[in-house]
């Protein structure tokens, strides 16, 4: 597209936003294709401020990856191993509890628990793990199992997704994380994750969770083989489900990290792409309140800049991130509350510690 035509397309998007009109497919493509980064950012920043003001949220959380054994072996993943392969691990019940107890003593309010689709890790074990964690750390919210793990528990256990979700909720499940969505387009899934649940199934697990009163997050893993149009399609499918259920709390764009994956020949997304994806998500997902700048994947400095491009959440302290670091992530594995507060204040925003459900736990005074 000629540069001039692109500018015009962006002007049309700006006019729509000014009129309060919902953006469509072509608008999303225009935003992602634009080289007018600051104009795109300005639109997204205004949308973000009108929704959440100047607050930027974070959570004290701990990631627990209970197993990296996975039958899917997606091309973009450096974390998973086949059973018995070098580097494969399954944490014992005691190891999971030890990680949880020390994090709970350190004041976290959320455990983010995900693993591979381990053929030997059953629904009963998943339930027992949550029940153990609830006993060990009763005040900590359990954000556990991606939709693809839930679907796997249901298939392997011969029961329905709804039964699995109800059983896990009873054992202490608080919310579902947004992982496993990748890019919904089947063309992309055939190339990078042919064995993973389909888009329809991923969406349906979230639909059923929302119906049971279990809120969830949504992600998109971008910057590999997908087109701009496929990114927009992904966002619009999330928006459609959110119109139906209202159960999504946050959207998290995940920047592809190629190292140690079967897609290591790809370069991964650049900084302008990262920021345009955050901004486009904020503008297209007009029914999502929160857009996370996931510092682990963006890097801490770009995550801070993303606060001017529509993001209002930095995720959390994390403590021991594994999935991105195995794929060449170079950020630290944890960040302190003090550092998050400093980043937010220097962006001129108000740091707010939240729990999983965006209840505000502590608002930090603005920088003087």
- Shortest distance in whole angstroms from residue 71 CB to ligand V47: 15
Q: Which stretch binds ligand V47 (CB under 6 A): 4-12, 70-78, 231-239, 340-348?
A: 70-78
Q: Which stretch binds ligand V47 (CB under 6 A): 152-160, 235-243, 253-261, 274-282?
A: 253-261
Mask: binding to ligand V47, 323-362, rule CB under 6 A, as x and -?
xx--x-----------------------------------
Mask: binding to ligand V47, 134-153, rule CB under 6 A, as x and -?
------------x-------
Alpha-carbon distance 82 to 54, whole Å? 45
Q: Where are the alpha helices (DSSP H) in the chain?
A: 3-18, 25-33, 37-52, 93-105, 123-136, 147-157, 161-171, 186-192, 199-211, 228-245, 271-284, 295-298, 300-306, 323-326, 337-346
Q: Does residue 104 interact with ligand V47 by CB under 6 A? A: no
Q: For residues 17 and 130, which CB has a smaller minimum distance to ligand V47 in the complex?
A: 130
Joined tokens for residue 352 = 């707010």
Q: For residues 27 and 315, which CB has a smaller minimum distance to ligand V47 in the complex?
A: 315
147, 205, 252, 307: which one binds ligand V47 (CB under 6 A): 252
Size of the site for ligand V47 (CB under 6 A): 23
Joined tokens for residue 83 = 């059973």
Mask: binding to ligand V47, 20-49, rule CB under 6 A, as x and -?
------------------------------
**Helical axes 161-171 vs 199-211, angle rounded to 10°:** 50
- Count of Cβ atoms closer than 10 Å to residue 233 Cβ: 20
Q: For residues 63 and 349, which CB has a smaller minimum distance to ligand V47 in the complex?
A: 63
41, 115, 167, 178: which one binds ligand V47 (CB under 6 A): 178
Closest CA to 121 of 144, 140, 137: 144
**Where in 269-288 is the site for ligand V47 (CB under 6 A)?**
none
41, 167, 172, 179: which one binds ligand V47 (CB under 6 A): 179
Closest CA to 177 of 115, 228, 122, 113: 113
29, 52, 56, 77: which one binds ligand V47 (CB under 6 A): 77
Q: Where are the alpha helices (DSSP H) in 256-346?
A: 271-284, 295-298, 300-306, 323-326, 337-346
31, 78, 173, 293: which one binds ligand V47 (CB under 6 A): 78
Q: Which residues of 157-196 are buried (b: 16+ CB within 10 A; e: fewer)?
A: eeeebeebbbbbbebbbbbbbbbbbbbbbeebbebbbeeb
Alpha-carbon distance 23 to 15, whole Å? 10
Q: For residues 9 and 62, which CB has a smaller minimum distance to ligand V47 in the complex?
A: 62
- Shortest distance in whole angstroms from residue 40 CB to ligand V47: 23
Alpha-carbon distance 115 to 180, whole Å? 11
**Where in 215-234 is the site for ligand V47 (CB under 6 A)?**
217, 219, 221
Q: Does residue 183 interact with ligand V47 by CB under 6 A? A: no
109, 208, 261, 317: which one binds ligand V47 (CB under 6 A): 261
Q: Does residue 121 interact with ligand V47 by CB under 6 A? A: no
- Look up tokens 């027992």; give the residue: 128
Q: Does residue 193 interact with ligand V47 by CB under 6 A? A: no
Joined tokens for residue 106 = 């350190």
Contact 234, 181 (CB under 8 A): yes
Alpha-carbon distance 202 to 184, whole Å? 9
Q: For residues 153 and 294, which CB has a smaller minimum distance to ligand V47 in the complex?
A: 294
- Shortest distance in whole angstroms from residue 252 CB to ligand V47: 5
Which residue's C-beta sits nearest to ligand V47?
Answer: 179
Contact residues: ligand V47, CB under 6 A = 76-78, 146, 177-180, 182, 217, 219, 221, 252, 254, 256-257, 261, 294, 297, 315, 323-324, 327
């Amino acid at each position: 597209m000629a540069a001039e035509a692109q500018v015009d397309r962006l002007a049309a998007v700006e006019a729509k936003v000014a009129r309060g009109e919902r953006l469509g497919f072509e608008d999303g493509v225009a935003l992602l294709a634009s080289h007018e980064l600051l104009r795109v950012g300005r639109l997204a920043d205004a949308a973000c401020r009108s929704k959440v003001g100047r607050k930027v949220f974070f959570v004290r959380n701990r990631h627990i990856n209970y197993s990296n054994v996975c039958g899917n072996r997606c091309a973009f993943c450096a974390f998973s191993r086949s059973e018995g392969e070098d580097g494969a691990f399954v944490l014992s019940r005691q190891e999971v509890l030890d990680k949880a107890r020390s994090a709970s003593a350190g004041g976290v309010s959320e455990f983010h628990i995900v693993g591979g689709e381990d053929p030997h890790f059953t629904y009963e074990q998943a339930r027992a793990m949550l029940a153990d964690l609830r006993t060990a750390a009763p005040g900590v919210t359990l954000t556990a199992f991606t939709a693809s793990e839930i679907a796997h528990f249901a298939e392997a256990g011969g029961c329905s997704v709804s039964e699995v979700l109800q059983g896990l909720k009873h054992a202490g499940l608080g919310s579902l994380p947004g992982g496993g969505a990748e890019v919904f387009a089947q063309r992309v899934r055939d190339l990078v994750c042919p064995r993973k649940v389909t888009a329809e199934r991923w969406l349906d697990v979230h639909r059923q969770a929302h119906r049971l009163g279990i809120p969830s997050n949504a992600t998109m893993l971008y910057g590999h083989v997908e087109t701009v149009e496929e990114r927009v399609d992904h966002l619009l499918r999330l928006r459609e489900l959110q119109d139906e259920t209202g159960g999504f709390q946050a959207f998290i764009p995940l920047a592809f990290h190629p190292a140690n994956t079967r897609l290591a020949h790809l370069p991964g997304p650049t900084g302008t792409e990262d920021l345009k994806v955050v901004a486009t998500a904020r503008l297209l997902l007009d029914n999502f309140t929160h857009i996370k700048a996931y510092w682990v994947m963006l890097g801490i400095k770009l995550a801070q800049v993303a606060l001017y491009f529509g993001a209002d959440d930095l995720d959390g302290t994390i403590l021991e991130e594994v999935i991105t670091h195995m794929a060449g992530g170079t950020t630290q594995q944890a960040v302190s509350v003090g550092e998050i507060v400093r980043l937010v204040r220097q962006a001129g925003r108000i740091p707010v510690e939240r729990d999983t459900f965006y209840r505000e736990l502590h608002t930090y005074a603005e920088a003087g």
